[in-house]
Amino acid sequence: MASEVDVDLRDRAEAWLADDPDPASRAELRELIDRLPATTAELRDRFAGPLTFGTAGLRGPLRAGPNGMNLAVVTQAAAGLVAWLAAQSGEGPLIIGYDARHGSREFAERTARVATGAGREALLMPRTLPTPVLAYAVRALNAVAGVMVTASHNPPQDNGYKVYLGAQLGGPAGDGAQIVPPADAGIEAAIRAVGSLSAVPLGDAGTVLDTDFSDGYVETAASVLTEGGPRELTIAYTPLHGVGGETLEKAFRKAGFADPAIVADQRQPDPEFPTVHFPNPEEPGAMDHLLALAEANGADLAIANDPDADRCAVAIPTSAGWRPLRGDELGVLLADHLIRRGVAGTYATTIVSSSLLGRICAARGVPYAETLTGFKWIVRAAEELAFGYEEALGYCVAPAMVRDKDGITAALTVAELAARLKAEGRTLADRLDELAAEFGVHATDQLSVRVDDLAEIGLAMGRARQNPPATLLGSPVTEIADLLPENDVLTFRTATTRVVIRPSGTEPKLKAYLEVVEPVAEGDLETARTTAAAALLTLRGEIAAILGV
The string of pLDDT tens digits covering residues 489-540 is: 999 999 999 999 999 877 789 999 999 999 999 999 999 999 999 999 999 9
Q: What are the φ/ψ torsions at residue 54 (nearest 5 degrees)?
A: -125, -160
Q: Which domains does the chain have, with CATH numbers?
A: 1-48 (no CATH), 51-213 (3.40.120.10), 233-270+296-436 (3.40.120.10), 440-547 (3.30.310.50)
Q: Strand pairing partners for 389? A: 395
Instruction: Mention every residue, 6+ apart, whose C-beta is less than 8 A from residue 337.
Output: 413, 416, 417
Within 10 Å of residue 436's Cβ, how many Cβ atoms? Answer: 22
Half-sphere exposure of residue 341: CA atoms within 13 angstroms, side-chain side: 21
Residue 452's pLDDT is what? 87
Residue 54's pLDDT is what? 81
Helix (H, G, I), strand (E, B) or coil at 491: strand
Q: Strand pairing partners for 161? A: 58, 149
State how far the Cα of 471 lies from the Cα of 474, in Å rounded to an integer.
6
Q: How far apart are the first and last CA of the chain?
A: 42
State how far the Cα of 530 lies from the Cα of 75, in Å rounded to an integer.
54
Mark whether 152 is an active-site residue: yes
Does residue 307 have a cis bond before it (omega within 30 degrees)?
Answer: no
Residue 50's pLDDT is what? 93
Percent of the residues in the chain that have a pLDDT greater than 90, as a whole number: 95
Helix (H, G, I), strand (E, B) or coil at 442: strand
371-377 long-range contacts (CB < 8 A, ≥24 apart) are 372/487, 372/489, 373/489, 373/502, 373/505, 374/55, 374/56, 374/178, 374/350, 374/505, 375/177, 375/178, 375/404, 375/405, 376/55, 376/177, 376/178, 376/179, 376/180, 377/180, 377/350
State how far the Cα of 82 lies from the Cα of 97, in Å rounded to an integer.
16
State how far the Cα of 280 lies from the Cα of 285, in Å rounded to an integer.
10
Report how far apart, in Å, the C-alpha atoms of 540 and of each of 76, 441, 446, 515, 531 are.
43, 18, 8, 10, 14
Residue 173's pLDDT is what? 94
Residue 361's pLDDT is what? 98
State how far the Cα of 308 lies from the Cα of 288, in Å rounded to an integer.
19
Tell me, yes or no, if the pTM score tops 0.75. Answer: yes
Mean pLDDT, contiguous 10-residue spans, the chain (549 residues)? 72 96 97 95 95 87 97 98 98 98 98 98 97 98 98 95 97 96 96 96 97 92 97 98 98 98 98 96 96 98 98 96 97 98 98 97 98 95 97 97 98 98 98 97 94 92 96 97 94 97 86 97 95 97 94
State how far the Cα of 77 lies from the Cα of 376, in Å rounded to an integer.
20
Residue 504's pLDDT is what? 87
Dihedral (CA of 281, 284, 289, 291) sign: positive
Q: Are 174 and 180 in contact (CB under 8 A)?
A: yes
* Catalytic residue chosen out of the listed positions 152, 214, 353, 354: 152
Q: Are 391 and 351 in contact (CB under 8 A)?
A: no
Residue 1's pLDDT is what? 41
Q: pLDDT by residue (tens digit) across 53-98? A: 887 799 999 999 999 999 999 999 999 999 999 999 999 999 999 9
Residue 411's pLDDT is what? 98
